[in-house]
A and B are shown apart, each in its own frame.
Chain A
Amino acid sequence: MKIMPCPLNGPRNISEFACSGEVAEMPEPNRTGDEDWADFIWMSNNTAGVVREWWCHVPTNYWFIAERDTVTDEILKTYPAGKVFTARRDFQGRDEGP
């Protein structure tokens, strides 16, 4: 089976992992129009080549980032999400609440 090198658990069978799609910048919900929000939700680059994606090791619920080539099916690099997301991000205007 294909092996995914997990930054936390080491090399594991890829069937233990779930892919959650490309790492994309989320726009601020309260300052984004419907059209841009729809774009963020539905549209995809669907790149034929190297992509940077969210993956989760399901048994340990550990989320990380993997760089992968979608043409050759090679996993190039994996690292903890903290390498990319270094600061907490707060969105404005959340006081309305559910």
Chain B
Amino acid sequence: MPWGLLKYGLGRRYPAGPDFPARPEFKPRYDVVIIGGGGHGLATAYYLAKDWGITNVCVLEKGYLAGGNTGRNTAVIRSNYITPESVRFYKESVDLFNDLSGELGYNILYSQRGQLTLAHSDATIRTFRMRAEVGKLVGTRIEMVDRRQIREIVPCLDMDENARQPILAGLWHRDGATGRHDAVAWGYAARAAEYGVELHQRTEVTGLEVERGRIAAVETNRGRVRGGHVIQAVAGMSSVVAAMAGIRLPIRSYPLQAMVTQPVKPFLDPLVSSSGLHTYVSQSSRGELVIGGGSDPYELYSTRSTLELKESLIAHTLELFPFLANLRLMRQWAGITDMTPDYSPIMGESPVRNYWLDAGWGTWGFKATPVSGKRMAETIAREKAPEILHPFRLDRFKTFDLANEMGATAASH
């Protein structure tokens, strides 16, 4: 509506209000205390209120909403994993993402453009066949494509057969998409706040009081708060917060570095990734190329930058798109990935009775935001994890019943 826009621009009244209410004082007790104001925590708050009518909820965030790994990932949404358990889980997330802008009344810039994963070896082709068949079985849109089809999907890829790592085949996942990651969290936060959920930013959890196998209180830099249930959704700090409840997790934290180039005209519609070259590339709606790769080589809680990782990432990207060599990098950053031994999350029950885990989100957290929120809300409301989360329970490590997910991005460690 150009006229409406013009009127809005010339009008004296500014009709838009703030999305979130100001931070209130603590109530003496909440039904649910959510530690972590990122996508997962805020989605959990939203679905607790919407699906289960539980609105006496507070979200504790040490910084600002979506300021952690929610705003640091490369915003890839896909469900082309390798185990049926994972594919079923991530498919539910993609399905929820499809309607999310409408449901939240908040534009998450969702754009379903498909994801093309490239194979440079026969071994990768074999796993692609398996991923394609598993995906079809579960009902996702996925297929193997040959070199001719790859040329049609992404005409600008370097298809030289004499390249160091020639492209042999691809896995074409039509459900692959991207969206604005912090808008997802803001949308959930805005709607959750309308239901009465309290958002406490700049509120850092400093300790957990455990009494007789239950969390009695959560200590923060603004005082103590009590909750019937407490859930942690703190990607990047999972081990540190769980340790406050006396829980050890099978997590090792590594930084993952990513970067964007200067913006150029749109030329790359699908998201392109190559596990052999440890890189993935997509063009944002602003025209920047978003480039990410595997995690750093050693454990670290610092989001510092290293030249050698940038160099290797760029070199591999140029093997796919040599004509990008003249582009300049505009920004770089890192997030902390909580890697689990089987590249699957840890969700559901913990050894502490009213304490619930949403952890181990390595490189697969953003795409799981809606499904994690929905299913963690169900877990807390019923005080029992639903069947779809069963493969991701913490106890799987006691029984050596791991969910080995080699379709994950950094499954190279």
* Interface size grouping (class) on chain A: 20 to 34
Whether B301 contacts A44 by the Cβ 8 Å rule is: no
Given known contacts A38-B397, A38-B398, A70-B300, A48 and B251 CB-to-CB distance under 8 angstroms = no
Cβ A44 vs Cβ B308 within 8 A: no
Interface: B3 (CB within 8 A) = no
Min CB distance, A86 to chain B, in Å? 27
Query: A29 on the interface (CB 8 Å rule)?
Result: no
Measured as residues with beta carbon below 8 angstroms from the partner, the interface class of chain B is 20 to 34
Most A CB within 10 A of own CB, among B249, B299, B307, B397: B299
* Chain B at the A interface: SS class: loop
For residue A73, CB closer than 8 A to chain B, the reply is yes
Judge whether A1 and B307 touch: CB under 8 Å: yes
Q: Is the CB of A73 within 8 A of B302?
A: yes
- Contact check, B302 vs A71: say whether CB atoms are below 8 A apart: yes
By beta carbon, the residue of chain B nearest A47 is B239
Say yes or no for A72: interface residue by CB 8 A criterion: yes
- Interface status of A84 (Cβ within 8 A of chain B): no
A19-B398 in contact (CB<8A): no
8 Å CB contacts to A: which residues of B347-400? 397-400
Whether A72 contacts B307 by the Cβ 8 Å rule is no
Once bound together, how far apart are the Cα atoms of A21 and B299, in whole Å?
8
Q: Which residues of B contact A12 (CB under 8 A)?
A: none
Is B341 among interface residues, defined by CB-CB distance under 8 A?
A: yes
Once the chains bind, are A42 and B341 in contact (CB under 8 Å)?
yes
Residues in A whose Cβ lies below 8 Å from that of B304: 73
Contact A44 B249 (CB under 8 A): yes
Contact check, A19 vs B299: say whether CB atoms are below 8 A apart: yes
**Which A residues are in CB contact (< 8 Å) with B399?**
38
- Interface residues of chain A, those whose CB is within 8 Å of chain B, are 1-2, 15, 18-19, 21, 34-35, 38-39, 42-48, 51, 70-73
